[in-house]
Structure 1
């Protein structure tokens, strides 16, 4: 059986594989949002609607990367504080810039005649903004996805970071705990589906609802990322593929039984997690152009700001009066958004992300030092 251990000499290639998956994730997300902007692009939307699975791919790779950088993290106060500081300085600076930036974007775009506003200025209440500043919007429905477009995933991920040291401690006691936690989530999920069906509430929620965005609904995806790391490291990757595939088939079967598309928002995260694990195997065996790797390195900035470029492209098309048809216009828009957001993100990555990640690492290392320091230096740009 092949050796997938990160302790091997091809470590740099493995780290590149992580960036390649991040690149694929952000391209899927952009493709999805471009498709949403062109409701008449019938052919393109057949494919683009599945681009939303890029978020779950981000979640799987985030958990996987955290395990690589923090698998030796002890469960004590200093180590936990150091971990939280690094995560905060990785995520917060760009997100705070987005909170301010999207406020002015909403204000400006709402005053452009004929243009659709990007964001709603009314949503910027003190509680909505405060929940986002404190990264508690994953627990507060009004502020969950109303300040920064796509911000729900950041809130969900920050809550996962809060639990991560504890989850790592459990896996060190026994890897079986990970399966037990996953089993509990699956049991609760299907108990919820059954109870809802029996009480006539089948289909309550949806893919744009707080229930879908909530960590409890997305947690199986993160847990699959952790499982992927441990199986990968112990040369049992094929086993996790088998386990994940069976779990995916069972989930799909139960999904069909409990009402087809009515519950797709509940079934989607774990199934997307399974697909992400399978995709990880495929991408790890492919040597991809360095441009793709570069996209992965700046994928966080691209995720935060690509909405602005989607709006800009649509507005330029509207003002130009060009009539290329919905499908061609969507393809051109996708290319424009990818190139523009990538170039912009190269700047924000260099001026904001890298300096603040370094500050966070230095602060954390002042609190706690150990093997994790070297591991964090190898992957400084995980999302």
Structure 2
């Protein structure tokens, strides 16, 4: 599969933001504006969803798309590392006396997580693997992607579907407040479930259609610089709404879509570079392991200086250690499993093609 530098860089931005948020949540006493900025990093998950949708659309071909091949490749891309993380976090209470779950982990939580259907389980959507709610939304998106491939040519339909996804997401995010739901599991469920995240995926598909229409990337560096600066500034400005309005994270989706479009169209070095691409290439493993790394650092690191200083030290070391482990996981687990999935998927596609060829009626001459 062809690699796009801007996609890896966007994933790098996303994982840097996610780690920043979790480090910020772990440091007490941060100045209000500093804390708000670290909270902005949580929008990196939305960026992950957007980039995921755009990536799959870029590599999918409607004329020879094979759903079974697609599912096999996605399974071997996600499942091996995710299962290792799930086993590790499930064993943490017994091995280290540490629990990363917000509630008691029920058997159904573990079962639905390993089956990738925990997105429908309010108690277990984020209870086995920290951050596992995002994998739940990805799994639902993968499930419907074959239908998406068949409808990619219908641009107007996707404009309408994207608008509808925003309306549904806002309604879904407002349910806890409207119904006065106080149970933490249910409140988290409405915040994390697929309906709330659907606009990010839909926007990624719209970006694919837009980029396809405008053609190859532009070499106009001045436009790139001005456009990137405006879009990034708007994204940061909108981020401060996150603590003011319910569902305000949805306001970030168009801003993140602008960042993604600028990165794809102009490849401005501030948005697309080797540093970001390095973190983007190993972002999946970093995402899964950084929770454990952060917890360990908090336990062993001495408290020194101001809260802002503590944040910087904790953030840097969490990134370094998580990236080191992420590289090992990427080379020893992710990449080999991806190759196996590709071989199995290609073999299945070949067998399916041969079967269709044999079953095809003879040509009448």
Q: 1:35/1:170 Cα in 2 relative to 1: closer, same or farther (>3 Å)?
A: same
Mapping for residues 164-183 of structure 1, pairs under 5 Å: 164-172=145-153, 174-183=154-163
Aligned match for 1:84, one of 61, 71, 76: 71
Aligned match for 1:152, one of 112, 133, 142: 133
Aligned match for 1:66, one of 56, 70, 73: 56
Mapping for residues 25-64 of structure 1, pairs under 5 Å: 25-42=14-31, 43-64=33-54
Aligned match for 1:338, one of 305, 319, 323: 319
Q: Deviations over 1:66-95 (max 9, x none)?
A: 0011143657xxx11111111011000000
Partner of 1:4: none
Task: Calculate the TM-score normalised by the size of structure 1.
Answer: 0.77
**Partners of 2:188 and 2:9 in 1: how far apart?**
30
Partner of 1:316: 300
Q: Deviations over 1:236-293 (max 9, x none)?
A: 799xx9xxx9xx99xx9xxx9xxx9352xx3413x22212211124434323542321
1:261 maps to 2:240: no
Q: Deviations over 1:183-226 (max 9, x none)?
A: 332344466689988xx547989996101111111101100001
SS at match of 2:151: helix
Offset of residue 347 of structure 1: 0.5
Q: 1:50/1:208 Cα in 2 relative to 1: closer, same or farther (>3 Å)?
A: farther
- What count of residue pairs does the alignment treat as equivalent? 325
**Partners of 1:121 and 1:276 in 2: how far apart?**
29
**Partners of 2:174 and 2:102 in 1: how far apart?**
39
1:126 maps to 2:107: yes
User: In the alignment, is the contact (CA less than 8 A) between 1:182 and 1:220 conserved in 2?
Assistant: yes
Q: 1:231/1:355 Cα in 2 relative to 1: closer, same or farther (>3 Å)?
A: same
User: In the alignment, is the contact (CA less than 8 A) between 2:162 and 2:199 conserved in 1?
Assistant: yes
Task: Calculate the TM-score normalised by the size of structure 2.
Answer: 0.80
Q: 1:92/1:323 Cα in 2 relative to 1: closer, same or farther (>3 Å)?
A: same
1:186 maps to 2:166: yes
Q: 1:193/1:16 Cα in 2 relative to 1: closer, same or farther (>3 Å)?
A: closer
User: In the alignment, is the contact (CA less than 8 A) between 2:49 and 2:138 conserved in 1?
Assistant: yes
Mapping for residues 180-259 of structure 1, pairs under 5 Å: 180-189=160-169, 201=179, 209-235=188-214
Partner of 2:355: none
User: In the alignment, is the contact (CA less than 8 A) between 2:181 and 2:187 conserved in 1?
Assistant: no
Unaligned runs of 5+ in 1: 1-10, 111-116, 371-383
Partner of 2:268: 286
**Partners of 1:304 and 1:38 in 2: how far apart?**
20
Unaligned runs of 5+ in 2: 219-226, 352-365
